A and B are shown apart, each in its own frame.
Chain A
Amino acid sequence: MNQLRIIQLEKKFEDRKKDENPVFSLKPVHLTIKEGEFFSLLGPSGCGKTTLLKLLAGLEQADQGEIWIGETEITNVPPESRNFAMVFQQPLLFPHMNIEDNIAFGLKMKKVKRAERIERAREMLGHVGLKGYGQRFPDELSGGQQQRAALARALVSDPRVLLMDEPFSALDPSLREEMRILLSRIHQEFGTTVVFVTHDREEAFHLSDRIGVMSDGNLLQVAGAKELYEKPASIQVASFLGLKNILKGSAGKFGMENRSQQVELADSRKSSMTHLIIHPEKLQLSTDLEKQSTAEEIIFEGIVKQLRFNHGFYLCTVQTENTLLECSISSRQAETVSIGQKVKLSAQLKGLHFVSR
């Protein structure tokens, strides 16, 4: 198995002018990426995801830790000998080479004969939808086409790992969507291990088998998109994922107190939990004010403050006694609700998610 193993990898960047604390440090990262997996590093700008990617590429030297691919340690192997490929934020095609030569660059460095490398470059052009563009120069291609060419350049040399550093962030939204579909198809076709850096949640969720959420140089959580969404390990992760309805409470032996609301915890091990996350789609909106809570559910009472249309459903913001809650409702239900109306929101206890930090 050619899995990529990252063992306690660390990197500190010192301020050259001062001998004080490091300007930025990537805290020890321990991670295994399976062969053929599409793994995304998700986090805000400056969280260390690109640093981690550069460490994997060999473009930065780690202070501590090891990188293994299969049974081979590559921590100190220079980037040119790793047989990795990388797609950057900008296409970074060489302007004096035509597209074919740009794509075949890696093969040329591997001393593949010209006829073979041109044939493979042409074949790859077909895969990325640029058939017939081989003789053009980069400045004769649009931004999206250039990024496709950059992707072809990365794939043509059959890399052990494909590293992608926010490759679609410079593209406009429609092109980005198109590129995601293309990348998804190509990943299925080639089965290459991909490490993809992005700050775009939607992009990560759309493409990845697993996602690693990073913040301030820490790898906070690694999980599949569904698990990350439903069970974020911390408030930081939940906040970055844009989760709504995060209620802060005080930890108690029997439950979480959100001032007026008592939420019973089914598991006493969760007694240290201090936050409760209720996903908007797990809240049921009811105009029946007589509705009473049961042992399996929690009920909030409040007033509708806002109704927003959002991709085929509505987001309804309800002001409860102490907090604002958001729930998603269907268009049909939205017709029965108006701003200022008193409503009740209920959620099944088993659908609630508690986090400690």
Chain B
Amino acid sequence: MLRKIKPYLLLFPAAATIVLLFFGGLFDGFLKSLGYFPAIGETGFSLKAYSSLFHSDAFWDSLIVTIRIAAISSVLSAFLGAIVAVVVFMMHEKSRSGALNLWNRLFQLPLTIPHLVGGYVIVLLFMQSGFLSKILAKVGVIEQIPDFPVLVNDSFGWGIILAYTWKEAPFVALMVYPVLERIHRKWRDVSRVYGAGNWDFIREIVVPAILPAWTVAAFIVFVFTFSAFEVPYLLGVTYPSMLPVYSYQLYSSGTLADRPEALAVNLILALLTVLLGLIAYYFSKRWNVLKGWE
């Protein structure tokens, strides 16, 4: 009996901590979002916070900005990451030189840099008085520094998009590359003999091979950017801000009475993430993308 439950007992401290901190926090947030806030004497439950959120323009503007930035960043990093992975793979097919290894490492470099540092890099490079604008002004591409487009702290969110694309593309490449490694070296020969050029090979063999891992990677990037805080806080504007920043603003700058709304934003974020996960899972099953590869 003891032998049977021993693994569970050994896992219990770690599992309990995770459950307590993660689900406990989530549950606490859920209760507070429903107005249960004994610290300010509120012990009843209501959907007031949700209702007022759904009636606030700031929330909808924030949600739209969040979806737009997360979607564009995910799509750009997913494509860029997949292209990088495929290029490295095709180069690997042709030669196995040391230069290729160097490229491989270079593409992975952004993975080692924290998001906040990545955000600062974007600020330093792309702000109007940044490195890039100075170079362009120096070489005469733009007349003066203010002619450089506003890419940091802009209302569209290009700075955030740039930071996430730069940071997450290597992540996508890293997820996709091991799958590409599963592609049999001789499949290229087979496809060539049967009339497939490079593009045909990529379309018919490489893309179907990477699709499952690629969609999962893109989804992870989307969910991450959807609920990330530090880069939007650093590179975004005060209005409309991305949902995590909006939640922080409500939580920290408002009164205690605004906190249920702030936590309701977090709960909505969590729910949307779960919903997106289910949608991604449904489509991956429906497309049968894993068939044959398992």
Contact = CB atoms under 8 A, between A and B. Distances in A.
Interface of A: 57-59, 78-86, 88, 90, 92, 94-97, 105-106, 108-110, 137-139, 153, 157, 163
Contacts of B190: 86, 88, 92
Given A57-B189, A109-B191, 16 more contacts: A57-B193, A78-B192, A79-B189, A80-B195, A84-B193, A86-B189, A88-B186, A88-B190, A90-B186, A92-B187, A94-B205, A96-B292, A105-B194, A109-B196, A137-B291, A139-B292
Nearest to A81: B195
B193 A85 contact: yes
B292 A86 contact: no
B211 to A, nearest CB: 9
Contacts of B194: 80, 85, 105-106, 109, 153, 157
Contacts of B292: 94-97, 137-139
Contacts of B44: none
A109 B200 contact: yes
B193 A94 contact: no
A91 B273 CA distance: 42
Contacts of A139: 292
B208 interface: yes
Contact of B195 (A94, A110, A137): A110
B4 interface: no
Interface in B195-222: 195-197, 200, 204-205, 208-209
B100 to A, nearest CB: 14
B288 to A, nearest CB: 9
Contact of B186 (A58, A78, A85, A92): A92
B6 interface: no
A59 B195 contact: no
B189 A59 contact: yes
A96 B209 contact: yes
10 contacts: A58-B192, A59-B192, A80-B193, A80-B194, A80-B195, A80-B196, A85-B194, A88-B189, A106-B194, A109-B195
Contacts of B186: 88, 90, 92
A163 B194 CA distance: 12
Interface residues of B, number: 20
Residue of B189, B191, B193, B204 most packed against chain A (CB within 10 A)? B193
A147 B193 CA distance: 17
Contacts of B94: none
A202 B144 CA distance: 81
Contacts of A85: 193-194
Given A92-B187, A105-B204, A59 B193 contact: yes
A198 to B, nearest CB: 18
A208 B202 CA distance: 37
A16 to B, nearest CB: 9
A305 to B, nearest CB: 47
Contacts of A138: 292
B55 interface: no
A267 B20 CA distance: 100
Contact of B187 (A58, A83, A94): A94
A108 to B, nearest CB: 8
Contacts of B200: 109
A132 B195 CA distance: 26
Contacts of A79: 189, 192-193
Nearest to B294: A139
A138 B184 CA distance: 14
A164 to B, nearest CB: 12
A58 to B, nearest CB: 8
A80 B197 contact: yes
Contacts of A80: 192-197
A140 to B, nearest CB: 9
A131 to B, nearest CB: 21
B200 to A, nearest CB: 6
B191 A95 contact: no
Contacts of A57: 189, 193
A84 B193 CA distance: 6
A162 to B, nearest CB: 10
A79 B205 CA distance: 17
